[in-house]
A and B are shown apart, each in its own frame.
Chain A
């Protein structure tokens, strides 16, 4: 058990509405990540965090923002959802940057923007 839970697991929303996905971890991991998974693209990094209030952009950050006000929670916000943001979103976390530190994944959040 990786101790990472995502909510909601499934959501349908309308174009133009804001959406927030939550990632909660119980293992005191310092580093947390948000990825999106799309057919033919694998997983692509949206944003990551290297500590409370410390975040940075990933490969596909346009249209997304994140916040981390405490160690255990990493929030991903779609400021104004578009159909191109229909995807499966995965949160991940790890304790350190070294090779001994496995990156663990949550179960995913399926988002459909109509």
Chain B
């Protein structure tokens, strides 16, 4: 079984500041980890995924995430926030079976001008 915890249902940062969205996972098997973004009234778009090839994963729109097994974490970062980054972000884990993704509850990212 696997689960994901996202710390902070809402995160607010100033435009140009560092974005840090936290995700911790629990998995009984080597996890496959994902970050998705959801803009208002839209579906989910894949930002990046951890495939075990490298612990630092780069994604779209300048985002990246680092897999830390010792901390069971997969935090999402972006060096400089842009107004267009305002959205809902979901961390998800997949255990390798047919039953798809287990999602965290999401973090709403607010960008202050």
Measured CB to CB, the residues of A under 8 A from B are 2, 31, 33, 35, 40-45, 48, 50, 56, 58, 90, 92, 94, 97-100, 102-108
Contacts and interface: CB of A to CB of B under 8 A. Distances in A.
A80 B9 CA distance: 32
14 contacts: A35-B103, A42-B105, A42-B106, A48-B100, A50-B98, A92-B100, A92-B101, A99-B50, A103-B94, A103-B100, A104-B46, A105-B45, A108-B42, A108-B43
Contact of B99 (A48, A90, A102, A105): A48
A58 B43 contact: no
Given A42-B103, A106-B43, A31 B49 contact: no
A108 B88 CA distance: 15
Given A42-B104, A99-B52, A56 B43 contact: no
Interface in B39-57: 41-46, 49-52
With a 10 A CB-CB cut-off, give which of B9, B42, B100, B106 has the most chain A CB atoms.
Answer: B100
A66 to B, nearest CB: 13
Given A90-B44, A100-B51, A56 B99 contact: yes
Contacts of A35: 103
A105 B103 contact: no
Contact of B46 (A31, A40, A102): A102
B103 A43 contact: yes
B90 interface: yes
B41 to A, nearest CB: 8
A31 B100 CA distance: 8
A40 B105 contact: yes
Contact of B44 (A58, A99, A105): A105
Contacts of A58: 99-100
A97 B98 contact: yes
Given A99-B32, A105-B43, A44 B100 contact: no
A99 B98 contact: no
Contact of B100 (A45, A99, A107, A108): A45
